[in-house]
Structure 1
Amino acid sequence: MPTYRYFVQPQIDAKTNTIVSYELLMKQLTSQGWRLPESFTSIDPQIIADLLVETTKVLSLKVRRCSVNINREQLMTTPIAEAIIKSQKQLYPTKLIVELTEEDGPQKYSIEDLLPRLKSFVKKGMQLSLDDVGTGNNYFHEIQELLPLASEIKFALQNFNKEFKDPKIQQKIHFWHAISIEYGLRLVLEGIEDHSDNKLSNELGIKLKQGYYFSRPQLLNLPQDSIAV
């Protein structure tokens, strides 16, 4: 049976230079080392559910917020939805953030399909983050209905072929920065790779950041891992 673990990457508040959140990134152990699974949707939902519950138990009380990547297919899968609810209970008072990704699954779900489940999560104290805004299926008109429910949007520099200094990229960031202010959301800029990226993001008024400049994702061992897997 394949071995999966979550890696954690911190989210940094640039003004206080402190870690304010961890993002959980699932990886699979292969003969070449840890790699992203080819398809998250093809992983047995119960495996994801059990791993999420075990991982959040280890992380409880370590940080104010903790986000987990969930695609639409996983969101609508009962074992995973139940594990998300259980994880929030374990993490309390830390907030669990459901980071909705745009990875496609075999079944297509509309925003209308997702809303009841997302609303129930928010009612139970969780938060919603919209990942990869401005790319793929996450342009403004496609996610506009979700914005009033969200607490956070994430813009990933690594999704673009252009460099950060390209005016078109900065224009996109200005747009989403304005959207975040209009809807009262946190804006997280992902893909900060070096000092110049960090400096430019400061000039653009970005407060919350993620990227290799601060930390690469680190393996989170579980109690049953007698040695590092």
Structure 2
Amino acid sequence: MYRYFIQPQLDTVNNSLIGYELLMKEKKPEGWRPPLNFSEVPSHTMAEVLIATTKILSLKIGSVSVNINRNQLMDKEVRAAILEAQKILRPLRLVVELTEDTPAQNWSNEEYISLIKEFIDYGMDFSLDDCGTGVNQLDQIKNMIPLAAEIKFAIQNFGEKLRDPDIESKVIFWRDICEKENMRFILEGIEDEKDDKLADKLGINLRQGYYYGKPRLLKLKADDDEF
């Protein structure tokens, strides 16, 4: 069984909530766990759970983000579910985050871009998630950047703390791209006060991580949280 968990995204300059991210997890005997690869999640299941979840969301914020990989982007049922979710959520804005998972086929960026434009034309924002990892390296996403409203960098993907100089340089690299292109830059994986303070030092205001709030289960049934 799959369900979405919701995690806050904050603007630390004015200490305000700017949005939530929907994070899909699978219910297993040992507890809720994220899929090892989101390609394992059947497209029909992802579409069904997304629509059911958006129907129960009543949030007084600007946006809700949802992750899709390239396989899901190319899937008609998933795209239809995303359009339906945006319709349900209005005036809330849906942000479609394209993850770094390696696709099953070698589709071209031109094919992805034409579909991303459909989302944007429908009033959604497009985001490039987990940049610097997987297939979301700069040379592979360069022609998608003009479409994006935001870039996200997840420090937990590198198995090191933000205060490592190498991670710092990567963060600064993507932060500067966003400043140049007038895009939002969200730093994910902030786990403690030291991470928070260094993000202050680097001038990164938009943040997400356990330090600000752990993901919370959005139940579709009363017994979803029973094991």
Contact 1:60 1:90 in 2 (8 A): no
2:87 maps to which of 71, 84, 89 = 89
Q: Give the Cα–Cα distance (whole angstroms) in 1 for the partners of residues 224 and 14 of structure 2.
A: 32
Contact 1:7 1:217 in 2 (8 A): yes
The answer for the alignment partner of 2:133 in structure 1 is: 135
Question: Residues 114-133 of structure 1: matches in 2 within 5 Å?
Answer: 114-133=112-131
Contact 2:161 2:195 in 1 (8 A): no
TM-score scaled by length of structure 2: 0.94
Cα deviation code 1:175-229 (max 9, x no counterpart) = 111100111110000010001110110111001001110111110112xx12343
Cα deviation code 1:133-185 (max 9, x no counterpart) = 12222222221101110001001111113321122211111111110011111
Q: Give the Cα–Cα distance (whole angstroms) in 1 for the partners of residues 108 and 158 of structure 2.
A: 26
Structure 1 stretches of 5 or more lacking a match?
A: none
TM-score scaled by length of structure 1: 0.94
1:54 maps to which of 46, 52, 55 = 52
Structure 1 stretch displaced more, 72-81 or 55-64: 55-64
Aligned residue identity for 2:29: S
- Stretches (4+) displaced over 3 A: none
Note the C-alpha offset of 1:109: 2.1
Pair 1:227 & 2:223 matched: yes
Q: Give the Cα–Cα distance (whole angstroms) in 2 for the partners of residues 162 and 51 of structure 1.
A: 33
Question: Residues 59-208 of structure 1: matches in 2 within 5 Å?
Answer: 59-208=57-206
Note the C-alpha offset of 1:83: 0.5
2:6 maps to which of 5, 8, 13 = 8
Q: Give the Cα–Cα distance (whole angstroms) in 1 for the partners of residues 150 and 139 of structure 2.
A: 17
Contact 1:60 1:94 in 2 (8 A): no
Q: Give the Cα–Cα distance (whole angstroms) in 1 for the partners of residues 185 and 17 of structure 2.
A: 15
User: Secondary structure of the equivalent of 2:118?
Assistant: helix
Structure 1 stretch displaced more, 134-143 or 150-159: 134-143
Q: Give the Cα–Cα distance (whole angstroms) in 2 for the partners of residues 226 and 213 of structure 1.
A: 28
Give aligned pairs, total.
Answer: 225
Aligned residue identity for 1:131: D
Q: Give the Cα–Cα distance (whole angstroms) in 1 for the partners of residues 96 and 192 of structure 2.
A: 28
Q: Give the Cα–Cα distance (whole angstroms) in 2 for the partners of residues 168 and 180 of structure 1.
A: 19
User: Secondary structure of the equivalent of 1:148?
Assistant: helix
User: Secondary structure of the equivalent of 1:19?
Assistant: strand
Structure 1 stretch displaced more, 90-99 or 51-60: 51-60
Contact 2:99 2:136 in 1 (8 A): no
CA RMSD of aligned residues (A): 1.3
Q: Give the Cα–Cα distance (whole angstroms) in 2 for the partners of residues 63 and 47 of structure 1.
A: 26
Contact 2:101 2:134 in 1 (8 A): no
Contact 1:41 1:73 in 2 (8 A): yes
